[in-house]
Structure 1
Amino acid sequence: MTIRIKRVYEEPAEGDGERILVDRLWPRGMSREKAIFSEWMKDVAPSTGLRKWFDHKPERWAEFQARYRQELKDNPALDDLRRRATHGTVTLLYGSRNTDFNHAAVLAAVLKTTTD
């Protein structure tokens, strides 16, 4: 089982495996024709309230991670994603410009600790 994260704007690679968009909102400037992924799992993304509160501010990162992990605890969409991850490589796609502080990094860490 391998879990990767990648910006949705990056070109697909042979090793991506199943590519899943994990944003609640459609990525800016990305046409539906150019988007290459197998599924859009909106429900595994942070809630609108949490996303807006975080606003990709580094000083809120630690608190964001804790709040998002709490949201994921009772999220049935996480169970579906976890099942997919046990069957091979999964690449979580996100739209954020910030490659260090984004929800896909948290989601990948959660999946890695619960599927190992």
Structure 2
Amino acid sequence: PKRAAQFWSRALDYAPRDPGEEDDWIVLVPRDGTPGVQVALDLHLSGTPVQEHPRVHLDLYAGDAADQAAEVERLVALGAERVDWDLYPDDPDFVVLADTEGNRFCVIDTSHS
């Protein structure tokens, strides 16, 4: 999961919880070390294929369409890929991307009505 860890570390400004973690398991936490409840991202190697329509995925929120477009471009520059998804509605408020390992996530325009 090292490639995915590098991508998500830069995408979310997270860092490995334990820099000496195993090669097949990495936990990323917010870099600023804020105390209290946190969202951690656990990455591990899996022999199963990536699900085309996963039941759970990550959503990243952008303030408006311009912020969304800028965030999508930033993430693509970090290694994400745009997904040509077959379930887009006519006027979506989200863009589906895949990380370096093919795991899908969305960037949401929260100003979309």
Normalising by the smaller structure, the TM-score range is under 0.3
Higher share in strand? 2
Higher share in helix? 1
User: Which has more radius of gyration?
Assistant: 2
TM-score, normalised relative to structure 2: 0.27
